[in-house]
Structure 1
Amino acid sequence: MSDLRTETPSPAVLRPAAVLFDMDGTLIDSEKVWEIAIVELARAYGGELSERARAAMVGVAMGESMRIMYEDLGQTWRDPDAGARELEDRVAGLFTSGLVWRPGATVLLAAVRAAGIPTALVTSTSRRLVEVALDTLGRDSFDAVVCGDEVPANKPDPAPYRMAADALGVDVTACVAIEDSPAGIASARAAGATVLAVPCELDLSHLHGETGIHLRGSLDDVDVPHLATLLVPSKA
């Protein structure tokens, strides 16, 4: 007879302590909105942002994004706070025009809520813009919301995901985080969460096989039982 104490729990009896959702590029297709605003701002400064710089800005905090932009444009003398305000003003206007859900995102979020699993929104975006986005996402869709301007350090630092788990009163190592950017994935993994990585604007194939990171092409067909399987340690 096998010793039940040493057997790996079946995915059928597992469930995440919470599901922690990134926002831009994960739940909503807002990276294209940011793209419009960033390109417009760079041109207003008399320059064109390189593809390398634009890719580096995905998923990181506003201050770091502005630093990347200014270095790329050769305008490091500019005030990052002023630039951030200009960028946010434009994005806020674009957000109010309506946001599009990423494939499978609305169905998965509804399924997680229906299962009674706590949820958190964990984003590098400022509270001002998140409040606009919640008109699309639903204000009752999350038990906690952690915004980029409300954390001591932003992604890729683990602080945002640790704060989300603390706000929900759960162990972050028993949570699944859903992310689309290298910075967000690094943040969630550093905090101890298991990560479902779903690319949007950036290729994540280099992360294949990394411990605690599971790649999917989209959230289509991802359900609560599938999230449970991610918590089962792989057998070496």
Structure 2
Amino acid sequence: MTDSADPAFRLPAAVLWDMDGTLLDSEPIWEIAMSELAALHGIAMTPHLRESTLGNSLPDALAKVHDAAGLSPEVRDPAADGRWTLDRVTELFQEGLPWRPGALEALELIACAGIPMALVTNTVREAADVALETIGRHRFATTVCGDEVAVGKPAPDPYMRAAELLGLPTAECLAVEDSPTGAQAATAAGCLTLVVESAAPVEPGPLRVFRRSLVGLGLDDVTEAWTGGLARTATCQNEES
């Protein structure tokens, strides 16, 4: 147990949540759509290709499928493929979106603690709005989607934009991520990141703490992840210097 009166232990000023694979078990849905798109281009969705697209923005995921299919630049049609993929994903989202284990309870925990939250996703607004019908848009002070920033994850732009909208420095925000792409974005933005891996392993590194699952998450766990992660990062930085 942490002592909430001890200034060495405190909570983040805000929590920034990834969506696919973190709050919702929607990565299998994306896999269906991307596999069908790959088949349209005459290739199979291999495990390596699928893992390389996890957490990607839609343009980046399409480019990887196009590369794998050996499509030359002049025959690629990212606009048409993007529209097809988005329509398919939205259709599948509307059939039902399951929660990741412990995610709903974790959201309610942070909300009850009075900590503002943001949703930060590479999913485009059109599909994210469908998912928010399951998650509950009222839970978030703001939401940032992949088509609302100049560059999506793994660039830091989505997390930097979310912190800006909340009026907070990224260093005061805890990001919660599941994928290498998302963790890279959060780290690059300067957010301490709680990594709860789902479909792909994430490399350890500065500003990253790991938890097996969101099941059973308590405020003490959040406090310890926050303060412990910052302390470990400071120690690593001192050792490097």
Q: Please report the TM-score for the alignment, with normalisation by the length of structure 1.
A: 0.91
CA contact (8 A) 1:176 1:227 kept: no
Residue type matched to 1:66 in 2?
A: L
Tell me the distance in 2 between the aligned counterparts of 1:50 and 1:78.
20
Q: Which residue of 2 aligns with 1:175?
A: 173
Q: Does 1:30 align with 2:26?
A: yes
Q: Which residue of 1 aligns with 2:81?
A: 83
Give the drift of 1:10: 3.1
Gaps of 5+ in 2: 1-5, 236-241
Query: How big is each residue's C-alpha offset from its partner over 1:17-60, in whole Å with a ceiling of 9 and x where there is no partner?
Result: 00000000000000000011111111122221222211111111
Moved over 3 A (4+): none
Tell me the distance in 1 between the aligned counterparts of 2:48 and 2:213.
24
Tell me the distance in 1 between the aligned counterparts of 2:108 and 2:61.
32
CA contact (8 A) 1:194 1:230 kept: no
CA contact (8 A) 1:49 1:73 kept: no
Residue type matched to 1:41 in 2?
A: L
Residue type matched to 1:222 in 2?
A: L
Q: Which residue of 2 aligns with 1:224?
A: 219
Tell me the distance in 2 between the aligned counterparts of 1:23 and 1:185.
13
Q: Does 1:184 align with 2:182?
A: yes
Q: Which residue of 2 aligns with 1:68?
A: 64
Gaps of 5+ in 1: 1-7
Q: Which residue of 2 aligns with 1:196?
A: 194
CA contact (8 A) 1:50 1:72 kept: no
Residue type matched to 1:9 in 2?
A: P
Give the paired residue count.
Answer: 224
Match of residue 135, structure 1, among 133, 136, 156: 133
CA contact (8 A) 2:119 2:143 kept: yes
Tell me the distance in 1 between the aligned counterparts of 2:153 and 2:71.
24
CA contact (8 A) 1:42 1:49 kept: yes
Mean Cα deviation higher: 115-124 or 71-80: 71-80
Q: Please report the TM-score for the alignment, with normalisation by the length of structure 2.
A: 0.89
Give the drift of 1:93: 0.4
Q: Which residue of 2 aligns with 1:101?
A: 99
Give the drift of 1:223: 2.2
CA contact (8 A) 2:30 2:89 kept: yes
CA contact (8 A) 1:49 1:72 kept: no
Percent identity of paired positions between Structure 1 and Structure 2 = 41
Tell me the distance in 1 between the aligned counterparts of 2:133 and 2:139.
11
Give the drift of 1:231: 2.4
Q: Which residue of 2 aligns with 1:215?
A: 210
Tell me the distance in 2 between the aligned counterparts of 1:225 and 1:19.
15
RMSD: 1.4
Match of residue 48, structure 1, among 44, 48, 51: 44
Tell me the distance in 2 between the aligned counterparts of 1:142 and 1:23.
12
CA contact (8 A) 1:198 1:215 kept: yes
